[in-house]
Chains A and B, each alone.
Chain A
């Protein structure tokens, strides 16, 4: 546990020491702020709905941008060899990388707390929906981060890692959008596998353990794939 924490701290320091961190965070706030502002001031709706609706699509870009360097850059620079010959297990390294991305994500989400405060002052929002929405965002973000980490472990090139990460999340997002094209028996399966379907359940303020379980299993699955791939020690 101690090692995981030391690794996480190093990752976070490296992230917040670089200007790209602030660019990514600013862009994230700018986009969510625009949608929030629009619904509040133009449509006169005291709800975070528009921000929550946007989140899966936003995460498709935002999270691969955070994760693309995690393993790809270590592989390119050769530091992966230092890291994986330290007295830690591969799993601890993966956990630390995931944890550091999740911390950044939570910082980004915490910054959107400004919108929640604005709503509380200006209107009378549905707190249940807001809470469910944030839980959904956190879980969605967690599993997208795990996918992004896996994508990053597959290549030495950060751009390729970004595109792969995007493609994985986009693929899972599409699953419940194509149900009309498939035989009836397949539709519920696709729906269950969709990353967006479970998110919309949570966003309604209904916290169902099946949805929570889905995200946790997806995270674990992506983590295992990463571990499996790293164990082969790609060049």
Chain B
């Protein structure tokens, strides 16, 4: 659906995006993750045909952004960063204007407007001027505007920035609903958001893609695992037995009140070590009280990949 090949974007001598390649399949919700200034917004601006690429190709449905810009724009709904809107227009007039610019007319336009107003919950503010709306409503107007022509692709640049927690949940669930039938690219630097809404994550750092995968894959690939292992056995014996298990380090050990020795283990690999630990306990005749695998969270992965 969207294919980015070796895309480079330079502003003067400054390289904003450096030879990145990725594809987005139809119906996928892709999250762009990265620190501020990593190149997320620039990439989105190229896909939406706002900025021309310096080098490389971007294909949307097989159409090239350089040659078929107008046809591509018609397929895309775009919510730019900071949700720019015309402050002096009333909500309904604004949406009607955007719908008209997308070529919608008459009954079709009225039906689409009614639909997006319903989906985005704008019924109460139709006659209000946009500059009188709260941040949450403005964001919803921005989303409604992006969806009004029912585009197969939605590109949302930080759709939840500046919203309060309730509004964030609302917008996320809206995105989730939309993601069932549309291809969505959204950028964010809020990590739980990615886990909540995205099928796939691209982590961008300094104009390059440093990680690409589902949130689960990224956690396993980059973080390793932590295992909580509790046995009723003497500590030196347990420690020496664990030394012989491959790739396990004891991070922390403490004796619980009931006599359980609780160990926090970390492993490098992706292999699940729980069966091995279980067998070890059985062999040695230890009573196993705890065996739990913890994932390193995405936040940790993000920090590892973007710290330097």
Name A's B-contacting residues (CB within 8 A): 3, 6-7, 10, 13-14, 17-18, 77-82, 84-89, 233
B interface majority secondary structure:
loop
| Interface window among B97-105, B176-184, B275-283, B294-302 | B97-105
**A78-B80, A233-B50 known; A86-B86 Cβ under 8 A:** no
B88:A233 contact, CB within 8 angstroms: no
Give the residue name and chain of the A residue nearest to B48 (CB): A85
- Please indicate the chain B residues that have their CB under 8 angstroms from the CB of A81 in the complex: 45, 50, 80, 84
B102:A79 contact, CB within 8 angstroms: no
- Please indicate the chain A residues that have their CB under 8 angstroms from the CB of B71 in the complex: 87
- Please indicate the chain B residues that have their CB under 8 angstroms from the CB of A3 in the complex: 101
B101:A6 contact, CB within 8 angstroms: yes
Q: Knowing that A14-B88, A87-B70, A88-B101 touch, tell me 7 more A-B residue pairs with CB under 8 angstroms.
A: A6-B100, A79-B86, A81-B45, A85-B80, A87-B102, A88-B70, A233-B51
Give the residue name and chain of the B residue nearest to A81 (CB): B80
Number of interface residues of B (CB under 8 A): 29
Cβ contact of B82, chosen from A6, A14, A78, A233, cutoff 8 A: A78
- Please indicate the chain B residues that have their CB under 8 angstroms from the CB of A14 in the complex: 86, 88-89
Give the residue name and chain of the A residue nearest to B51 (CB): A233
**A87-B73, A87-B102 known; A10-B88 Cβ under 8 A:** no
Cβ contact of B88, chosen from A18, A84, A87, cutoff 8 A: A18
Q: Which residues of chain B from 138 to 172 have any CB-CB distance to chain A below 8 Å in the complex?
A: 145
User: In the complex, A17→B131 CA distance in Å?
Assistant: 14
Mask: chain B, 23-59; 1 = CB below 8 Å from A; 0 = not = 0000000000000000000000100111110000000
A interface majority secondary structure:
helix
B50:A86 contact, CB within 8 angstroms: no
A6:B80 contact, CB within 8 angstroms: no
Q: Is B267 among interface residues, defined by CB-CB distance under 8 A? A: no
CB distance from B153 to the nearest CB of A (A): 12
**A14-B88, A87-B74 known; A82-B103 Cβ under 8 A:** no
Q: Is B87 among interface residues, defined by CB-CB distance under 8 A? A: yes
A85:B73 contact, CB within 8 angstroms: yes
Q: Is B92 among interface residues, defined by CB-CB distance under 8 A? A: no
Q: Is B211 among interface residues, defined by CB-CB distance under 8 A? A: no
CB distance from B50 to the nearest CB of A (A): 5
- Please indicate the chain B residues that have their CB under 8 angstroms from the CB of A86 in the complex: 73, 98, 101-102
Mask: chain B, 51-91; 1 = CB below 8 Å from A; 0 = not = 11000000000000000001101101010111011111100
- Please indicate the chain A residues that have their CB under 8 angstroms from the CB of B81 in the complex: 78
User: In the complex, A84→B81 CA distance in Å?
Assistant: 14
Count CB-based A-B contacts (< 8 Å).
60
User: In the complex, A204→B106 CA distance in Å?
Assistant: 50
**A10-B97, A14-B89 known; A87-B103 Cβ under 8 A:** yes
Give the residue name and chain of the A residue nearest to B45 (CB): A81
- Please indicate the chain B residues that have their CB under 8 angstroms from the CB of A77 in the complex: 84, 86-87
Cβ contact of A78, chosen from B51, B73, B84, B102, cutoff 8 A: B84
Cβ contact of B84, chosen from A17, A82, A89, A233, cutoff 8 A: A82
- Please indicate the chain B residues that have their CB under 8 angstroms from the CB of A13 in the complex: 93
Cβ contact of A79, chosen from B84, B93, B100, cutoff 8 A: B84
Cβ contact of B80, chosen from A18, A82, A89, A233, cutoff 8 A: A82
User: In the complex, A194→B84 CA distance in Å?
Assistant: 40
CB distance from A234 to the nearest CB of B (A): 11
Give the residue name and chain of the A residue nearest to B47 (CB): A85
User: In the complex, A151→B100 CA distance in Å?
Assistant: 29
Give the residue name and chain of the A residue nearest to B49 (CB): A85
**A85-B73, A86-B101 known; A79-B85 Cβ under 8 A:** yes
User: In the complex, A18→B70 CA distance in Å?
Assistant: 32
A17:B82 contact, CB within 8 angstroms: no
- Please indicate the chain B residues that have their CB under 8 angstroms from the CB of A89 in the complex: 70
Cβ contact of A85, chosen from B52, B78, B85, B88, cutoff 8 A: B78
CB distance from B55 to the nearest CB of A (A): 16
Give the residue name and chain of the B residue nearest to A10 (CB): B97
- Please indicate the chain A residues that have their CB under 8 angstroms from the CB of B98 in the complex: 82, 86
A87:B101 contact, CB within 8 angstroms: yes
User: In the complex, A185→B284 CA distance in Å?
Assistant: 108
CB distance from B33 to the nearest CB of A (A): 22
- Please indicate the chain B residues that have their CB under 8 angstroms from the CB of A85 in the complex: 48-50, 73, 76, 78, 80
User: In the complex, A13→B90 CA distance in Å?
Assistant: 11
Q: Could you pull out 18 A-B pairs where Cβ atoms are within 8 angstroms?
A: A6-B97, A6-B100, A13-B93, A14-B86, A18-B88, A77-B84, A77-B86, A78-B84, A81-B45, A81-B50, A82-B78, A82-B85, A84-B50, A85-B80, A87-B71, A87-B103, A233-B51, A233-B52
